[in-house]
Amino acid sequence: MGNPRATASVLVGLAAVAMIPLGVVAARYSHDATLLNSTSGSIPATIVLGFSAVLLARRGRERATWTLGRAGGTAAARTGKALGVLALCMAVTASLAVGFYGLLTLFAS
């Protein structure tokens, strides 16, 4: 039967890590979206997907434990958790950058 949650955690983790760079690329090639708008829009998606990857990895690791390793997926769960944590760190960093930019533009006037 395998461990579909562990595999899903890797896929969701990859999507989470790709959200902020895709927002930057969208701002680069779009005439309507600015870098600030696209980054601000991709931060919540990164947070949601990052938490989802961590939770899926936890469930995948629990399944591997319950089946005494026969279901497999321990390495995939570890990778999915690492990608989810990386995405959450990227989201926090981007949030701080957007927040400080807002403060700088507020006090610059």
Three-state secondary structure string covering 20-88: HHHHHHHHHHCCCCCHHHHHHHHHHHHHHHHHHHHHHHHHHHHHHHHCCCCCCCHHHHHHHHHHHHHHH
Number of CB atoms found within 10 A of residue 65's CB? 12
pLDDT band at 20 (very low <50, low <70, confident <90, very high): very high
pTM for the model: 0.91
User: Using 50, 70 and 90 to split pLDDT, how confident is the model at 1?
Assistant: low
The reported pLDDT for the residue numbered 109 is 73
Give tens-digit pLDDT for 41-92: 999 999 999 999 999 999 999 998 888 878 788 999 999 999 999 999 999 9
User: What ranges do the domains of the chain cover?
Assistant: 4-108
pLDDT of 48: 98
Round to whole Å and give the CA distance between 68 and 60. Answer: 12
> 26 in the Ramachandran plot: left (φ > 0), alpha (ψ -120 to 50) or beta?
alpha
Percentage of the chain surpassing pLDDT 90? 78
Residue 3 contacts residue 70 (beta carbons within 8 Å): no
